[in-house]
Amino acid sequence: MDSPGRSAARFYNSSDKMYILKTLTSDEVEQMHALLKEYHPYVVSRHGKTLLPQYLAMYRLTVESMETYCVVMRNVFSTFLQIHKKYDLKGSTVDREASVRELEKDLPTLKDNDFVKDGTKIYIGEEAKQQLMETLTADVEFLMRLNLMDYSLLLGIHDIEKAEQEGEMHNESEDDVIEEEDDECTGVPTPPDSPLTAARERAASNGAINPDVEIYAIEGNENAPQREIYFMALIDVLTHYGVKKQAAKAAKTVKYGSNADGISTVEPDQYGRRFLEFMNQAIV
């Protein structure tokens, strides 16, 4: 997969698209070990009700004396529904728009200023918003307590009407159908006992999401201006606010002056409060 951020991390999809593999830096490995001591008890106390990354395993691969660390996580996005728009949201405004190079991609990773400029909102209704903000607040307070910052909310939007139109266009061409079948999962068959198999069967029958598989999915409110399904989770939660980040904040404060309040590199408490305020305005 293309890396959505500025880091040199590499991303890989599993063949059934259920899992993401991400390479880690040595600093992230150290932070992961520190995080896990608090992460597991927190997830248990929340009964799994969290938008934190669902970490499943971490590996060290050694090839010709070169070591590479990688972590396995549940994929935030749908395994069978197409994502039509994608955002990485931090709640900050300085340098928070997709680059020209990023915009050239088929599915660019847009950012906060793009989100505001597009007039995008997450239409899930008041009750679902209250539940989502409760979960986000608990997660952010957990990250603040561990002195972590620079995380993002990864948001993927599935446009139901657009998908239906695209489906009708594909059905009109047998060639498209054959091509799609040949390309599915890069030629690797999905195991019969994979959760993805049940998800696709359900999708084929009624088009609904399977909450056992699409664990980060929230359906749009029936009164929303457009029919959408949202996929949301917190990502990049391994950045500790230490000496390096303090120095980066000082440099950015000098560079941006009066606009420094909008930089992403700030103390965890300020970062968390600003993040929650942005999300509270984005969700309706």
Marked catalytic residue, from 16, 114, 139, 150: 150
Could you confirm whether 22 is annotated as catalytic? yes
The residues facing 74 across adjacent strands are: 19
Our CA dihedral for 137, 141, 147, 150, rounded to 10 degrees, sits at: 0
Q: Which amino acid is it at 172? A: E
Angle between helices 160-171 and 174-183 (to 10 degrees): 110
Could you confirm whether 245 is annotated as catalytic? no
Judged by DSSP in three states, 147 sits in coil
Neighbours of 238 (CB within 10 A): 20
Judged by DSSP in three states, 110 sits in strand
CA distances for 148 relative to 133, 138, 164, 214, angstroms:
19, 14, 41, 27
Strands 217-219 and 152-159, sheet pairing? unpaired
Say if CB 237 and CB 54 are below 8 A apart: no
What span, in angstroms and rounded, lies between the C-alpha atoms of 250 and 248?
Answer: 5
Place of tokens 């965890």: 268
Question: Which residues are marked as active site?
Answer: 22, 150
